[in-house]
Structure 1
Amino acid sequence: MSHEGDLKDFQTLPSRGHPDYGTTSSARNIEQNTSPVPDPSDPLPHGKLHRALSARQVQMIAIAGTIGTGLFLGTGKSLATGGPASILICYAIVGFIVYVTLLLLGEMATQYPVAGSFNAYATRFFSSSYGFALSWNYWANDSVSVASDLTAAQLVLEFWSVKHSWIVSLVFWVFLVSVNAIHVRAYGELEYWLSFLKVTTIIVFIIVGILVNVGVNQNHEYIGAHYWHIPGAPFVGGFGGFLSVFVTASFAYGGTESLGITAGETKNPSRNMPRVVKFVFWRILLFYLLSIFLIGLNVPYNYPNLSNKTSTTSPFTLVFEQAGSTVAASFLNTVVLTSVLSAGNHALFAGTRVLYGLSVTSPRQAPAIFSRTTPGGVPIYALLMTSSISGLCFGSSFIGSGTLWGWLQNIVGVSNQIAWLSIGIASWSFRRAWVAQGRSLDELKFRAKWTWPWGPPFVIFTVTVIIVLQGWSSVIPTFSAVDFVSFYVEIPIMIIMYLAWMLTRHLKSSKKFSNSASTEAPLSDEHSETSQGRRDRRWRSWWWGNDIVDIHTVDLYQDEHEEEEVDKADDEERERRSKQANVWKSTLWKLYYLIA
């Protein structure tokens, strides 16, 4: 339970439905707001984010966050270290976990479409200190992801033997910062068309991959499952190799959870967020598993330069090369390069919004300057701070692009897993609070019925097991300090940040507690021992229990989305188009709303 105001043993709360419900409980709970916290002493002007992302943009953004460098390049490393069977099984397991996680996030994001998304929900429904650590960790994750994508660009350019490839990364960096500084619509439109190109390319790849496997290749030979039976396959590296694929799979799927971050800038979130959650991931899962299965069939795990310290080759490009077309291979490599740009664009946007969310929460968890926005609704200082971390990519020329990208891939992958774990924790607390306060499940704007009640504990358990075991190969049979750190460095960082924020809050609250205690009336002798004992118990309760949010008093009404006139107009227009007299036109519109 949080004690950010008066430290009183009891407080009378208004009943649900009372006009003041949710306003008097702020002293006991950490709340997340979508608008900056007013501070009379703060001279900086602040602004709000704009709800300018359309349904088609949000859905494509969700796809772009997952179909990126992790699929186009990360699968090469996964195949080389784990083999074709490991990569297929691990990606299927992680895909299912992420799908359930996405449904849990969708419930909260539809009910409370706020800036900060799952970071805000962890703060609001579970723990202020944990939410603080998670938010800063995820911001660092997004910042490092930008660096990872720019490093990946240098790897992709090696296909054409480009010298001084860091210059191209620098140009990409300037371009991404410029686009994100204009307006959220500019970001959304760029992401939409880059995603459209990637989806189209993957469909073409699936067709080409099938043809290559059945004999339409340079050698005119039927491949079938031959590469599953070469020495060392289908499980490369044994149990350790199998486990190591989980972190690369998590890197590849990373980004699905950030669709919740777009909720604060999405039009008509009550309708669009559930549609995104229910439809997008099935398409992504289809793209991933089919692509990975074909990669395992057509590319041997021991292909030269598939993944090493100096370079990483995209298996997608190799399959097109096998089809006998150098031009097609170059074209696909160009698409891989655009996917790098798209992934960096997405990570930069998400990191900027997370930092903005930290600066507007109550109590504030980041400097107020990061809540300052341009007239177009862009948190400009948060953008500049996030983009500055991406300078890591230029270090690749000193230690090798392949090595640096492998480290960054592990770090980002683990950070993604921590995000999924946190969504499970926040959802579990949210659901318990909803039931404990007697609110009907029918009041939820979106509910994944089949995940009740097992969804949150399933996500928490499975992700925890993966995080603990996936670094097996860095310890057994030989210990690799660098690899071990890349697998587990996130854990102590989270713990340190959690304790630091808790200590900071305790130091501030202890002054209030001491002042409150000093103003109490003197105790009579006959009551001194009882009152002192009660005060000691109160102190212990404050120290150990004030950080965990009380599910019985957390405000479930604050920040609930109320449909605006523009939302109602959007619904009416959608209904009108779907009921047009022209059957063909009506069918086309329904198909458009389903797909786009």
Structure 2
Amino acid sequence: MSSSADTEAGVVPKSDGRLRRELSSRQVTMIAIAGTIGTGLFLLYRLTPVKGTGRSLAQGGPASILICYALVGFIVYVTLLLLGEMSTQYPIAGSFNAFATRFFSPAYGFALSWNYWLNDAISVGSDLTAAQLVLQYWTDWHPWVISLVFWVFLVSVNALHVRAYGELEYWLSSLKVATIIVFIIIGILVNVGVNQDHRYIGVSNWKIDGAPFVGGFGGFARVFVTASFAYGGTESLAIAAGETKNPTRNIPQVVKLVFWRILIFYILTIFLIGLNVPWNYPNLSNKSTTTSPFTIVFQEVGSHAAGSFMNTVILSSVLSAGNHALFAGTRVLYGLSVAQPRQAPKIFSWTTSRGVPLPALALTSSLSILCFGSSFIGSGQLWGWLQNLVGVSNQIAWLSIGIASWRFRSAWVAQGRPLSELKFRSAWTWPWGPPFVIVTVTFLILVQGWSSFVPKFAIVDFVSLYIEIPLLIVMYIGWLVGKRVINWRQVVTERTPLLTSNDAIRSADAPEPWFDLVDIRTVDLKTDEYDDLIEEEAVLEGGAKPTLLKRLYNWVV
């Protein structure tokens, strides 16, 4: 969204059919939290032992799981700081996909954007497939019918207004946050002796046979890959930048708080699980297990309803994840349709008077219904494959953020713009941040298929873990080939006399190169910069400032 449009009224006029800046700081904060927790702490551990905290604890031990989650958490934090710099300067639809196109390569941006859109569309289907598995805890009655009801509900919410999406995400995320806080309190109580055996646990589970590192380097590597899956989706918080009120203030605030969310929601939770649950707990790593570390801890304090409670929380997490993925996929497709050059049909740029891109929503949701509609054939296996696809796409997104940030920073310096003009700057990540993210995430992508090789080669798992890499390359080459064909046809029809030979055409016009790396010395650094002066003035003129109680409430939220 261009700065000129925003400058006129602080918010894009309702009559122009564009996206609306209607997401408040409260909602954006919860959207960020929803991207941080859910798939890693609630969904994965319960539905598939391959990528969950229970499986991680059993295969790697308490020390491996703590170290791996901390390391990957740090990588994700640096990645989001880099993304926050660009999203604050250019709060547009498409986020890191648009930045890859703008600062690195249009061909790569095209391939990345469609890859990530596919990831979001598949994620909705994956989450609704997961809902079927969760519901099997209570009943086997046609679970796909419930998934269909959830699908209709999510599409309806996203079709109403962006505020409807934000409010639903806010309350679903609130339940998850409350559950984590309760778990942390109960975990501490269980550890110090408030448990069924009235025994002080302390660090005794770190000293049992095989602990704290289980399985040596192989166990550590498996957990390292698991951790990268658990943090997936955090990068999509910037997708909402194009619809966030006062992005200059709200986006940096949200990104900075990611560190504390990672510290509290992941590291502290993982630490308490490692303290209270022994790595060799029965059924912790069984393929058909319904036991989770969360449930074990709740049961230790005497909560016999822990299973139903945790499944209720998981179900809300499924809805939250599906809601978030549907929103993100819709906005990515919209961003493709308004990109320069255009990378998707123009129809997907059409929005309602409330700023909802209905055609983009329809295509994204239609693909997701195909995914979960076939899940009754084998819900568990299908869900695992879909999660592999989603996880790899998330890692590719992190890598692309590092590349785009490196090019963005280089262009800023090369064109002589002072760093003081950056609306948000993570000074301590200069200059090492982008190369650090590129190197570490590349390593993650290369080793993420460890489980498909060890203990034996699994062709289906291997394909689901690595298929997106050749697809990305094919789409990259396809964009370049298509661009060369279109440009050649324009030369023939517009600039070449009828009697000119093909050889003359080639000599008169240099062929399109087989790469389209953006020149950092000439790339436009002005367009799409957000001017929030008008919006701030409107807030000041709109009435009294928030009271102390209101500011305290917003801070707590």
Q: TM-score, normalised by structure 2?
A: 0.89
Three-state SS of the structure 1 residue aligned to 2:100 is helix
Q: Do structure 1's residue 294 and structure 2's residue 265 form an aligned pair?
A: no
Query: What letter matches 2:338 in structure 1?
Result: V
Query: Are 1:144 and 2:122 counterparts?
Result: yes
Q: Which residue of 2 aligns with 1:71?
A: 41
Q: Give yes or no for contact 2:104–2:518 (8 Å, CA) kept in 1.
A: yes
Structure 2 CA distance for aligned equivalents of residues 165 and 295 of structure 1: 31
1:224 aligns with 2:202: yes
The residue aligned with 1:386 is: 364
Mapping for residues 32-51 of structure 1, pairs under 5 Å: 47-51=17-21
Unaligned runs of 5+ in 1: 1-30, 36-44, 523-531, 579-584
Distance 1:285 1:140 in 2: 30
CA contact (8 A) 2:125 2:368 kept: yes
CA pair 393-281 structure 1, distance change in 2 beyond 3 A: farther
Over 3 Å counting, the alpha-carbon distance change for 1:249 and 1:572 in structure 2 is farther
Q: Which residue in the other structure is 2:183 paired with?
A: 205
Candidates 255, 267, 270, aligned match of 1:277: 255
Match of 2:510 among 539, 544, 548: 539
Shift of 1:300: 3.6
Tell me, yes or no, if the aligned pair for 2:124 and 2:322 is still in contact at 8 Å: yes
| 1:159 alignment partner, SS class | coil
1:594 aligns with 2:555: yes
The separation in 2 between residues aligned to 1:212 and 1:80, in whole angstroms, is 20
CA distance in 1, matches of 2:464, 2:3: 34
Task: Give the deviation of 1:110 after TM superposition.
Answer: 0.7
Deviation at 1:247, TM superposition (A): 3.7
Confirm or deny that 1:397 pairs with 2:366. no
Which amino acid in structure 1 is aligned with residue 412 of structure 2? Answer: W
Given that 1:241 and 1:473 are in contact with CA atoms closer than 8 Å, whether structure 2 keeps it comes out as: no
Find the partner of 2:531 among 548, 558, 562: 562
**TM-score (normalizing by structure 1):** 0.83
Letter of the aligned partner of 2:120 in structure 1? D
In the TM superposition, 1:108-147 aligns within 5 A as 108-147=86-125
Supply the distance in 2 between the matched residues of 1:516 and 1:495 (Cα, whole angstroms).
32
What residue number does 2:411 align with? Answer: 433
- Segments of 5+ residues of structure 2 without an aligned counterpart are 6-14, 45-52
Write out per-residue CA displacement over residues 468-521 of structure 1, whole angstroms, 9 at most, x where no aligned residue: 122223224421112222221221111111111111111112233556874699
State which of 236, 240, 243 in structure 2 corresponds to 1:265: 243
Tell me if the contact between 2:480 and 2:514 (Cα under 8 Å) persists in the aligned partners.
no
Residue 212 of structure 2 aligns to a residue whose secondary structure is coil
Provide the rounded CA distance (Å) in 2 between the counterparts of 1:72 and 1:216: 24
Judge which range, 243-252 or 175-184, deviates more. 243-252
Secondary structure at 2:69's aligned position in 1? Answer: helix
- Does 2:76 match 1:98? yes
The reply to whether residue 61 of structure 1 matches residue 40 of structure 2 is no
Superposed CA offset, 1:264-286 (max 9, x none):
00011111111111124422332
Output aligned runs, 1:329-340, within 5 Å. 329-340=307-318
407-416 vs 492-501, greater mean Cα deviation: 407-416
- Is the 2:64–2:213 Cα contact (8 Å) retained in structure 1? yes
Structure 2 CA distance for partners of 1:198 and 1:495, relative to 1, 3 Å = same
Distance 2:540 2:462 in 1: 51
What do the CA deviations read for 1:337-372 (whole angstroms, capped 9, x no partner)?
111111111111111110111111122212222222
Deviation at 1:162, TM superposition (A): 4.5
Deviating more after overlay: 156-165 vs 413-422: 156-165
Distance 1:293 1:34 in 2: 49
Task: Indicate the residue corresponding to 1:194 in structure 2.
Answer: 172
Q: Distance in 1 between matches of 2:248 and 2:447?
A: 38
CA shift digits 1:297-324 (9 cap, x unpaired): 2234444554555565442223212221
Spell out, residue by residue over 1:226-268, the C-alpha distance to the aligned partner (whole angstroms, 9 max, x if none). 4434455434444333223334323322222111110100011
CA offsets, 1:429-468, max 9 Å, x none?
1111111111111111111111111111110011001111
Q: Which range moved further: 287-296 or 321-330?
A: 321-330
Taking only the aligned residue pairs, the percentage that are identical comes to 68
Residues in 1 aligned to 2:120 and 2:226: alpha-carbon distance in whole angstroms: 16
Query: Which residue identity is paired with 2:390?
Result: V
Q: Which moved more, 1:382-391 or 1:233-242?
A: 233-242
- State yes or no: 1:487 paired with 2:465: yes
Cα displacement string for residues 63-95 of structure 1 (whole angstroms, at most 9, x for unaligned residues): 011211321132234334433222211111111
The 1:318–1:358 alpha-carbon spacing in structure 2 relative to 1, beyond 3 Å, is same
Q: Aligned partner of 1:133: which letter?
A: A
Cα distance 1:328–1:477, how it changes in 2: closer, same or farther (>3 A)?
closer
Offset of 1:566 from its aligned partner?
3.1
Seen in structure 2, the aligned counterparts of structure 1 residues 300 and 404 have a Cα distance that, compared at 3 Å, is: farther
CA 1:311–1:371: 2 relative to 1, 3 Å = farther
**Two-structure CA RMSD over aligned residues (Å):** 3.0
Given the alignment of the two structures, is residue 447 of structure 1 paired with residue 425 of structure 2, yes or no?
A: yes
Report the CA distance shift for 1:494/1:249 in structure 2 as closer, same or farther (over 3 A).
Answer: same
Q: Say which of 377, 383, 392 aligns to 2:355.
A: 377
Mapped partners of 2:453, 2:3: distance in 1 = 43
C-alpha change, 1:168 and 1:305, in structure 2 (3 Å) is: farther
